[in-house]
Amino acid sequence: MLLAPLAGITDLPFRSLVSQFGAGRVVSEMIASGEFLTDRPGTREKAELGAGIANTSVQLAGRTPEAMAEAARMVEGMGAQVIDINMGCPAKKVVGGYSGSALLRDLDHACRLIEAVIGAVRVPVTLKTRLGWDDASHNAAELAQRAESLGIAMIVIHGRTRCQFYKGKADWRAIRAIKEAVSISVIANGDIVDTASARTALAQSGADGVMVGRGAQGRPWVLAQIAADLFGTKAPLIPTGMRLVDMVAGHYDAMLSFYGTELGNRVARKHLGWYMDDAATASSLRKSILTAKDPDYVFDALPEALLGTERCAA
């Protein structure tokens, strides 16, 4: 079970929380190698591993072999135990910079990047990509074969093309062609949010495991729960009542500590919103929490927001 890299979401506080529940591996937010090397504000924080978190992959994207290799050496020096190469991001800014899924249109150049990263580090290197650029060019199987020959240790396939972005449904059956083309582990990704979708994705793709992204938003235990249901690992203790309040408060506090109060408060809003979605928090209280600038108010309001007035009184 892997936690997908999600921009602005899978930062150190969230990865740490997901890891505490028992995820197999968590992946950092995508880091642009060029920005990382120039020390652009915010990029080093994305790669921050945190003491004692051994199951973290650091994901890199880039367009030149030299920058990718140097960035890989640097994150290995920071303690990364696995480096993941992004060749699947569909965002216009990334694709326009000839990175991410744009590399599916030039497999020779994609392989030069892979070779440079593998040659620069001693830790395992993995790859995340999509089925192809569009429906007329499903070439992920060819990329997977070439990547395996260069030394890629594992490949994650999002079951959409770049031109689909996140529209429609992920085609898990199409991932089977990639699985059958290589001997390394293949992980299915896309629209996997719970045990039922994970089970279907595995059956249709023949993949060795699954990667969960948006399904973990507001539910940091879901990866461990899926693993327990499908593979018989230890089931997580899903927090309820005051345990849930304490978990959310701890996550909020970790974000304040990591980013500083002002930025941390803003970054936390999306996570608090997801927690309150599941709790069906009253709209007026939800709005007051998500617009609050005083962390003390947020801490004080969380019990009512997550448990409701009656349960808090009880």
Residues that are catalytic: 89
Quick one: CA torsion of 49, 51, 53, 54, rounded to 10 degrees? Answer: 90
Q: Tell me, what amino acid is at 102?
A: A
Burial of residue 163 (number of CB atoms within 10 Å: 0-12, 13-18, 19+): middle
Strands 82-87 and 154-158: unpaired
* Distance (Å, whole) CA 133 – CA 139: 8
What does residue 212 show for φ and ψ, rounded to 5 degrees? Answer: -115, 135
* Distance (Å, whole) CA 156 – CA 235: 25
| 3-state SS, residue 117 | helix
Nearest to 132 by CA among 97, 94, 91, 175: 175
